[in-house]
Amino acid sequence: MNSEPFRERTGLAYALAILGSFLIVAALVWAMHKYTEPAPLGANRAAERARALGEMRAAEADALNNVGWIDQGKGIVRLRIEDAMKLVERSWQNAPAARSNLLERVAKAYPPPPKPAPSPFE
């Protein structure tokens, strides 16, 4: 009979210990979240990103709608989309000739790499 109040106190002590440990863990999680949170992006960073996006879109629009050199040494040019579509339509009227022309242009634009030097260990 005497051990019953002791059991109640022991159970209460365990409950308080568990609750305390949960509170300590919650406080540690909150502190780690507070210390590891990155700094917010400022308005200057947002303006910089918007300016970079505008420049990139302008360059893409220029590349899509204007002609220009890709590699002047190899004679590779960039055409407007409409002009390229007309050129492809006109050149593929004769499919075998167009295919051989295409293969020649690919070989010119991307030559095969040189053979590797012989290894002294072979």
Condensed to tens digits (0 to 9), the pLDDT of residues 43-60 reads 788 889 999 999 999 999
Distance separating alpha carbons of residues 94 and 81, to the nearest angstrom = 21
Residue 46 falls within a domain, yes or no? no
User: pTM for this structure?
Assistant: 0.41
Q: What is the DSSP letter of 85?
A: H
Write the pLDDT tens digit of every residue in 22-44.
999 999 999 999 999 887 778 78
Domains held by the chain: number: 2
Summarised one tens digit per residue, pLDDT across range 72-106 is 887 888 899 889 899 889 988 988 999 998 899 88
Residue 52 falls within a domain, yes or no?
Answer: no
The answer to whether position 23 is within a domain reads: yes
Structural domain includes residue 96: yes
**Torsion sign, CA atoms 59, 60, 61, 62:** positive
The confidence band for 1, taking pLDDT boundaries of 50, 70 and 90, is very low
Q: How far apart are CA 60 and CA 57, in angstroms?
A: 5
Is 16 a domain residue?
yes
Structural domain contains residue 106: yes
Determine the structural domain holding residue 103 and report its residue range: 67-110
According to DSSP, the residues that pair with 71 across neighbouring strands are: 76
Task: Tell whether 120 is covered by a domain.
Answer: no
User: Which of the pair, 113 or 7, is modelled with greater confidence?
Assistant: 113
Do 68 and 78 meet the contact criterion of CB atoms below 8 Å apart?
A: yes
